[in-house]
Amino acid sequence: MASPSLICDAEQWKDLKAHVSDIQTTHLRDLMNDVERCKSMMVEHDGIVLDYSRQRAHQDTMAKLFELAEAAHLREKIDRMYNGEHINSTENRSVLHVALRAPRDKVICSDGKNVVPDVWSVLDKIKEFSERVRSGSWVGATGKPLKDVVSVGIGGSFLGPLFVHTALQTDPEAAKCAKGRQLRFLANVDPIDVARNLTGLDPETTLVVVVSKTFTTAETMLNARTLREWISSSLGPQAVAKHMVAVSTNLAFVEEFGIDPANAFAFWDWVGGRYSVCSAVGVLPLSLQYGFSVVQKFLSGASSIDDHFYSTPFEENIPVLLGLLSVWNVTFLGYPARAILPYSQALEKFAPHIQQVSMESNGKGVSIDGIPLPFETGEIDFGEPGTNGQHSFYQLIHQGRVIPCDFIGIIKSQQPVYLKGEIVSNHDELMSNFFAQPDALAYGKTPEQLLSEKVHNHLIPHKTFSGNRPSLSLLLPSLTAYNVGQLLAIYEHRIAVEGFIWGINSFDQWGVELGKSLANQVRKQLHQSRTKGKPVEGFNFSTTTLLTKFLEVNPGVPSDTTVLPEI
Ligand code: F6P
């Protein structure tokens, strides 16, 4: 591997910088007329089509990006990841989420040990346990079957599983398997989230899954204690053994909390929190809801993309192409954001999940060797399903700031509706927008076109669309569990590619620590002010004033009282 240096010093980087002015002389309107160019920007793999012809790029740009990939040692970095090397150097860990969905007979090693058998022993345990719960052979403390599950966790222990759950809810096969069951997610330490999630649930028929890699996260542990209280105050403390299970890498803390280690589902420190949805973090709650065989299809979809990412030449490699184009947009064209726009309500939680995967991974200020970066990394990810977004923030995307967009469309709806007398099906109506929006962004509308439509002069500037706004389209054949797995893995690997090119560590997250430790200080102050009447001290003027105000109005509750929220 090359000695520590920044990728921006490479000739290939400088070449791309110089190339920006070539692109600035072109308009997407013209680029889209070049059919050969467009043909070369269409890739298909395992039913998924990527069309990146509406990127502000031509074949030359792509060639330069592939050269940059070579300069950044992208191939070697991917290999090092798959070989289990400690590429997360600040935490001295391998990065092996690909092992979580590998077939049983695959060999993937971390620290000289094949981890695939460990993965499968947890998957087998989940299969067995979820079948017992779903069949009613595992019952609660009062002998009733457990039909509802509350998964308690935050960040990576929440967003991925929520995305997959939301995507599967309306898939006919998954929905059939989930009949009569509910899966809810409690993430925020806000007691309002507790109240919302417990509404309508009966502790007698509820299983709580506490999901935390570290088993120390303040929000999750307080929520777990709150739900433990909810169970034991109603069914007695002995009921906890039947109504609470855990997913963690820290089995000692699980036991200390009072959950039987036999009912704990392990994962490993080589699984990053935001990359953990394919571990027990997602597989356990989702198997309880949908059955293991549906979840296995999701894992297979992700695994198929893992193979594609590992073995396909970069020119045809969907995650690599997406990652390189993101680097082009962020670093060279200077577009700081990315909109994720799935034309499927089932994908409504996709953007929030990718927001964590991307922004926690790539929002860094130094290289992997600790050198301050003279360029920006990461992008601001946000998104909403179409067409809802169209009636919200698309105004800005069309006529305000330039935001590269990912349009994600599905060929076959999970829930088709065709009304008699309508010229198209409901899904066709949705997809008409999916096909139209990228062209509206690329082509825009000129003053000449408006004049020919006899638009009043004073309105012409307001009705003009500059166009030349980049987007890409991903078309999926359907939205089965398998396709959901594919989509997840495409984005996970794309984000890794970006980080590999920028030369950062995409797998640590030191940026979340400072706020956490300051909150510890505030927590101590609140406790001491309440219990010992201690004045607020050690904070700046602003925080002191705000805290004092908070304490004045919030007298607190006596320490021996438990108040569980109710709505
Ligand atoms: O927000 C920081 C973070 O460490 C995430 O990376 C992680 O997904 C989340 O907290 C939850 O952590 P845990 O699973 O250890 O409770």
Which pLDDT score, from 0 to 100, does residue 4 have? Answer: 55
DSSP conformation class of 158: T
Which pLDDT score, from 0 to 100, does residue 558 have? Answer: 56
- Ligand 1 nearest atom to the CA of residue 214, by list position: 15
Distance (Å, whole) CA 272 – CA 81: 13
Which of 159, 210, 215, 217 for a ligand 1 pocket mutation test, highest count of atoms within 8 Å of Cβ?
217
Q: Which of 85, 204, 219, 360 is catalytic?
A: 360
* Ligand 1 pocket, residue 213 CB under 6 Å: yes
Query: Cα of 219 to ligand 1 centre, how many Å?
Result: 10
* Ligand 1 pocket, residue 249 CB under 6 Å: no
Q: Where are the alpha helices (DSSP H) in 171-317?
A: 172-177, 191-198, 218-235, 240-243, 251-257, 280-290, 292-311
Q: Is-catalytic flag, 308?
A: no
Distance (Å, whole) CA 471 – CA 51: 9
Which pLDDT score, from 0 to 100, does residue 67 have? Answer: 98
List beta partners, residue 110.
113
Cβ distance 494 to 506 under 8 Å?
no
Give the pair of three-digit tokens for residue 187.
């993430």
List beta partners, residue 50.
43, 474
Sheet with 48-51, edge to edge strand ranges: 42-45, 48-51, 471-476, 405-410, 337-342, 380-382
Residue closest by Cα to atom 3 of ligand 1 = 155
Distance (Å, whole) CA 338 – CA 130: 38
* Pairing between β-strand 337-342 and β-strand 405-410 as defined by DSSP bridges: parallel
* Ligand 1 pocket, residue 182 CB under 6 Å: no
Identity of residue 175: A
Which pLDDT score, from 0 to 100, does residue 556 have? Answer: 66
**Would you tell me how many other CB atoms lie within 10 Å of the CB of residue 114?**
14
CA torsion 341-344-349-352 (nearest 10°) is: 0
CA torsion 320-321-324-325 (nearest 10°) is: -150
Give the pair of three-digit tokens for residue 411.
């060929």
Q: Where are the alpha helices (DSSP H) in 50-150?
A: 59-71, 74-82, 116-135
User: Any idea what the Cα angle at residue 161 is, between residues 198 and 512, rounded to 5°?
Assistant: 95
Which pLDDT score, from 0 to 100, does residue 5 have? Answer: 87
C-alpha distances (whole Å) from 532 to each of 286, 535, 553, 556 are 46, 9, 17, 12
61 Cβ neighbours under 8 A, 6+ residues apart: 16, 19, 23, 328
Residue closest by Cα to atom 16 of ligand 1 = 212
Low-confidence spans in the chain with pLDDT less than 50? 1-2
Please give the backbone phi and psi of residue 133, each rounded to the nearest 5 degrees, phi first.
Answer: -65, -45
207-242: burial string, b at 16+ Cβ within 10 Å, e else = bbbbbbbebebebbbebbebbbebbbeebeeebbeb
Instruction: Name the region of 566 (left: φ>0; alpha: ψ -120 to 50; beta: rest).
Output: beta
Q: Is-catalytic flag, 391?
A: yes
Which pLDDT score, from 0 to 100, does residue 381 have? Answer: 98
Q: Is-catalytic flag, 458?
A: no
Which pLDDT score, from 0 to 100, does residue 553 have? Answer: 83
Sheet with 244-248, edge to edge strand ranges: 182-186, 148-152, 206-211, 244-248, 264-266
Give the pair of three-digit tokens for residue 299.
């894992």
Which pLDDT score, from 0 to 100, does residue 361 have? Answer: 98
* Ligand 1 pocket, residue 218 CB under 6 Å: no
Owner of token pair 């109710």: 566
pLDDT in tens, 494-512: 999 999 999 999 999 999 9
Query: Cα of 155 to ligand 1 centre, how many Å?
Result: 5
DSSP conformation class of 331: I
Query: Cα of 559 to ligand 1 centre, how many Å?
Result: 29
pLDDT in tens, 444-473: 999 999 999 999 999 999 999 999 999 999
DSSP conformation class of 329: I
Cβ distance 343 to 431 under 8 Å?
yes
